[in-house]
Each structure stands twice: as C-alpha cells, then as structure tokens.
Amino acid sequence: MRVLLNVIWLVLCGIWLAIGYALAALICFILIITIPFGIASLRMANYALWPFGRRVVDRPDAGGASLVGNVLWIIFAGWWLALGHLTTGIALCLTVIGIPLGLANFKLIPVSLMPLGKEIVDVDSPVPV
C-alpha cells in the first residue's frame, strides 16, 4: 500500500515539491553562507518525493546552531512553506481519494517549518537516541 500511495503522491504532488525544494537548495548553495539551509532543503526534497513509510525524527547531536538556524529559517522561509503545505493538505482532504495525500502534506509541515537538526528515517526503524 505504501508503494501505491508513494507512486500516486510522486505523480500528483511529490515531483513538483521536490523540484521546488531542489531549486531552493541550489540558490542556497550559490549563496555559500546558506549551505546548511541548502542541505536541509535537499533533505526535504528527498522526503517530499517518497513520504509514505518514512518519518522525521530529531537528530540527537543537533545543538544550538540548529536552533538558531531554525529560527532564521522560520522567519525567512518556514512559515510560508508550512502555510503552503497546510492549505494544500486541506484542499486535498476535501476529496476522499485525496485524504492520504493531504495527510502526507500535513506530515511535511514540521520539517518545512524547522528542518535543521532533523533526520528522515523509515517508519520501521528504531528512534535514534
């Protein structure tokens, strides 16, 4: 079932989200000082391609720099990304077929809001400590 949902997601939503996040990463890499944000954006692009069967967990080694980076990210990019995922998720949930895709959009909200200090893992894998 995960594979089917991921394929539907990829065709309808995932490829466009991943391209958007990859373009944002490219801009961050060009600006050099924002490379950590580019890496986080690539992580989100990877997650946006294939979200079913995976989850976001906090990295145990994330420190204060991740906190400061997340605050900057929320101010400059995170709030509108989260708002976009929220509105798209609500719109998808209006149809019966779109409910799982809407829920996947809701899963992307926390990582789009605060991407630094996060890791994408399989649902079946244990939580890192």
> In this model, does residue 111 exceed pLDDT 70?
yes
Residue 58 forms beta bridges with which residues? 118
Q: Quote the domain boundaries for residue 28.
A: 1-122
In the chain, the number of structural domains is: 1
- Residue 72: its pLDDT value, please? 92
Within a domain: 116: yes
pLDDT digits (tens, 9 = 90+) for 2-54: 899 899 889 988 899 899 999 999 999 999 899 999 999 999 999 999 999 99
Q: Which residues pair with residue 121 across a beta bridge?
A: 55
Q: Is residue 129 part of a domain?
A: no
For 65, which DSSP code?
H
The span from the CA of 15 to the CA of 50, in Å, is 9
pLDDT reading at 126 higher than 80: no
Backbone dihedral angles phi then psi of residue 55, each to the nearest 5 degrees: -145, 165
**Is residue 58 included in any domain, yes or no?**
yes
